[in-house]
Structure 1
Amino acid sequence: MSGHGRKVVVAMSGGVDSSVAALMLVRQGWSVTGLFMRSGLVTVASDPDAPAAADDAGDARRVADHLGIPLHVLDVGDGFQRLVDYFVDEYGRGRTPNPCVVCNRDLKFGRLLDCALDLGAEAIATGHYARVADRGGEPALLRSADPDKDQSYALFAIPCDRLGRIVLPLGEQTKAASRRMAAESGLPVHDKAESQDACFVAGDYADLIRQRRPDLLRPGPIVDELGREVGRHQGIAAFTIGQRRGVRVAFGQPRYVVSLDAATATVHVGPQEHLLARGLRVEDANWLTARPPRDGDVIEADVQIRYKHRAARGRVAVRGGGADVRFDEPQRAVTPGQAAVFYVGDRVLGGGWIVRALGAEDALP
């Protein structure tokens, strides 16, 4: 896509992907400005080698200088504070949070896009591996051309009316191609390691929870499928649905976490078949189309229930701001707090936040 001098702001994290996105836009003729998001938070790191936020800011500055573009810094400390509160509070509800989805919605394509518009840009660009393209006369969010790196799942919650203001330069290429482009162009971060943690938790997130909500790390019982106490744990925040590691109980067969009860600090475990769900329920659905489905509509879709999960075919029944899903084949480890994202072909139709798994006792669409 040629920019022809059009103004775009690139969200620059100091990493390889956002740096290559900026490089590509400069080469395409856009008038590019970089924008670094400063959290203002001090991370809790159990890993002494974890990179500091100051290093990321310095890397973003070096890349901007290399490309000859201006770089602004936006202080979003209050937004990051709310993100951390959400992260910790979800564990307090016995759910597994997905902070990247919330950050994309509220900060990267919320606060940063607002700032980009204030700077006179017509769009914001990021280093996400996904695509925005015209479908039926409206902008649509699509999977990346690289299925191994596709990040469209994490973008489902962006408000529909913002899609037309988003540019995703990396959506048509692979991560390997981005690395190669970074090296060939001499970007200062071409060999920088990819972050594996939530950006505000460098290392063990239990340290953050211990500081913010020590009550979430209180001991409690581990209970099997027959209601027997078979062990003890040191806090439900250390567990997620489907987990086997850390379930230290004596059984002839492996046992997995099948549910969490935050009120009683109880971890329920069972055999692997107890992880299978016929369906799920979501709340707070977000639809990425100008013609969203109406209450009572039933849609055939592929449903992705976590990052890297292979989307499963199912029926999505739209109900009261959310939806119920019935899978064609039962799915493993449906996890409250995670997102369920609905695809029609390679297009993200919408999605919502998983409330609970649905089983044989539930009415399914």
Structure 2
Amino acid sequence: MLKEFEIEPLLKDKAPHQTKAVVAMSGGVDSSVAAVLLHHLGYRVIGVTLQLYGSNANARKGACCAGQDIYDAKRVAEGAGFSHYILNYEEIFKKEVIEDFADTYMRGETPIPCIKCNQTVKFRDLLQVTKNLGADVLVTGHYVRRLEHNGEVKLCRSIDKSKDQSYFLFATTKDQLRLLRFPLGGFYKCDIRKLAKYFGLQISEKPDSQDICFVSKSYSETIAKLVPQSVQKGKIVDTNGKVLGEHNGIVNFTVGQRKGLGIAHNEPLYVIRISTENNEVVVGPISALMQKKILLKELNWLEQPKEGMEVTVKLRSSHAGSLAAIYPTEEKGKACVILNDEYFGISPGQACVVYKNEQVIGGGWIYK
């Protein structure tokens, strides 16, 4: 069975028994299989699970990193026979991910906390733990490929396109990528479940994590608890400023939304933008949501694109991708993306991830 799951050596100049690998274990099938597979291949595996919100008893069932997940990760490590540690990162997670999530909504933007979590707690902090433990690499169960040739490291899309997670890892830096390893990127999810059964893992049929881990019932309820002023009533206006109705808090609306506006009109209306200064939700026809020009900030490049370079961009995780050209702007650390064709509902706060064929060359956060 294991012959079907050959992977590239984690280090080319070290044998498995000489290689110490920290594996980030969320308690799900993917990271569990990654850890057990490496252990069976002879690597010196250390499992690490982060406790990010253990005191939140209302976390949604099926979300990642809940209390049950910590137990599942510990059970997998004990069953396989390798070391496992639980690290309490609740305060850091609250500050850098949960509060950022609420602040982004309050700016009238649509956040992606999973990217922020990877960017801060999971990679920045876990990589420091990896170094502190004297380990050689940090391994995760992400479906993405890390390709290395002649000392050059590239981040590429997973073989299993239905599970590809490269969009969520665009903020990974070159230095981080040198220590990171993603052994599952060359496999399909169905095969990973087969491998979980082969290893006798009780979680082999455990459902994938869904939605945002710290959201209890709904985004709006979670944010209302964090930022009570987010549910202040305000006006719903058209693009000319005409008042069409009243909203019960800007936190209940996102750009591109059509349903649940609570107003009657002779044509379908969509949320065009959210004006936090005036506490207004601006609505209009679908044509007002079609755009070709996007401005990006907080750029991260694994490979610096040339001016006018033709690329493919993903504007949300479910987006198949659009052809575009990318240009620098006069402002340092920002860029302009011009799409070949108009795209519906581009939302500030989302990530624009830039690809050259299968390779992730970087990206940035949409701000306009």
Query: Scaled by the length of structure 2, what TM-score is found?
Result: 0.91
Structure 1 residue aligned with 2:355: 343
Q: Check 1:49–1:333 CA distance in 2 against 1; reply closer, same or farther (3 A cut).
A: closer
CA contact (8 A) 2:60 2:213 kept: no
Secondary structure of 1:267's match? Answer: strand
Secondary structure of 1:283's match? Answer: strand
Q: One-letter code of the match for 1:232?
A: E
Say whether residues 1:7 and 2:17 are aligned partners. Answer: no
Secondary structure of 1:36's match? Answer: strand
CA contact (8 A) 2:64 2:213 kept: no
Q: Give the C-alpha shift of residue 201 in structure 1.
A: 1.7
Query: Scaled by the length of structure 1, what TM-score is found?
Result: 0.91
Structure 1 residue aligned with 2:313: 303
Distance between the aligned counterparts of 1:111 and 1:47, measured in 2? 25
Q: Give the C-alpha shift of residue 49 in structure 1.
A: 8.6
Q: Work out the number of aligned pairs and report it.
A: 352
Distance between the aligned counterparts of 1:59 and 1:178, measured in 2? 17
Q: Give the C-alpha shift of residue 38 in structure 1.
A: 1.1
- Write the deviation string for residues 262-284 of structure 1: whole angstroms up to 9, x where unpaired: 12221111121211101100001
Structure 2 residue aligned with 1:25: 38
Q: One-letter code of the match for 2:79?
A: H
Distance between the aligned counterparts of 1:20 and 1:33, measured in 2? 13
Q: Check 1:180–1:338 CA distance in 2 against 1; reply closer, same or farther (3 A cut).
A: same
- Write the deviation string for residues 166-187 of structure 1: whole angstroms up to 9, x where unpaired: 1111101122222222123221
The more displaced of 167-176 and 45-54 is 45-54
Q: One-letter code of the match for 1:209?
A: I
Structure 2 residue aligned with 1:362: none
Secondary structure of 1:172's match? Answer: coil
Q: One-letter code of the match for 1:45?
A: N
Q: Check 1:187–1:140 CA distance in 2 against 1; reply closer, same or farther (3 A cut).
A: same
Distance between the aligned counterparts of 2:154 and 2:65, measured in 1? 36
- Write the deviation string for residues 219-254 of structure 1: whole angstroms up to 9, x where unpaired: 111112342221221111111111112112212322
CA contact (8 A) 2:216 2:222 kept: no
Q: One-letter code of the match for 2:152?
A: E
Correspondence for 1:315 among 309, 312, 325: 325
Distance between the aligned counterparts of 1:186 and 1:231, measured in 2? 57
Which ranges in structure 2 are unaligned for 5 or more consecutive residues?
1-7, 11-15
Secondary structure of 1:170's match? Answer: coil
Secondary structure of 1:57's match? Answer: helix
Q: Give the C-alpha shift of residue 293 in structure 1.
A: 4.5
Distance between the aligned counterparts of 1:48 and 1:125, measured in 2? 26
Secondary structure of 2:108's match? Answer: coil
The more displaced of 321-330 and 37-46 is 37-46
Structure 1 residue aligned with 2:144: 130
Q: Aligned ranges for residues 171-186 of structure 1 at < 5 Å? A: 171-186=185-200
Structure 2 residue aligned with 1:242: 256
Q: Check 1:49–1:128 CA distance in 2 against 1; reply closer, same or farther (3 A cut).
A: closer
Distance between the aligned counterparts of 1:198 and 1:21, measured in 2? 23
Q: Check 1:307–1:328 CA distance in 2 against 1; reply closer, same or farther (3 A cut).
A: same
Q: One-letter code of the match for 1:229?
A: V
- Write the deviation string for residues 289-345 of structure 1: whole angstroms up to 9, x where unpaired: 3xx347xx3321101111011111111002321100100001111110011011011
Structure 1 residue aligned with 2:245: 231
Q: Give the C-alpha shift of residue 20 in structure 1.
A: 1.4
Q: Check 1:36–1:352 CA distance in 2 against 1; reply closer, same or farther (3 A cut).
A: same
Distance between the aligned counterparts of 1:48 and 1:139, measured in 2? 37
Structure 1 residue aligned with 2:208: 194
CA contact (8 A) 1:51 1:202 kept: no
Q: Check 1:298–1:40 CA distance in 2 against 1; reply closer, same or farther (3 A cut).
A: same
Distance between the aligned counterparts of 1:330 and 1:262, measured in 2? 26
Structure 2 residue aligned with 1:211: 225
Structure 1 residue aligned with 2:166: 152
CA contact (8 A) 2:352 2:365 kept: yes
Q: Percent identity?
A: 38
CA contact (8 A) 1:41 1:80 kept: no
Structure 2 residue aligned with 1:359: none
The more displaced of 202-211 and 150-159 is 202-211
Structure 2 residue aligned with 1:90: 104
Q: One-letter code of the match for 2:26?
A: S
Structure 1 residue aligned with 2:342: 330
Which ranges in structure 1 are unaligned for 5 or more consecutive residues?
357-365
Q: Give the C-alpha shift of residue 52 in structure 1.
A: 8.0
- Write the deviation string for residues 99-132 of structure 1: whole angstroms up to 9, x where unpaired: 1111101111111111012111111111111011
Distance between the aligned counterparts of 1:316 and 1:46, measured in 2? 40
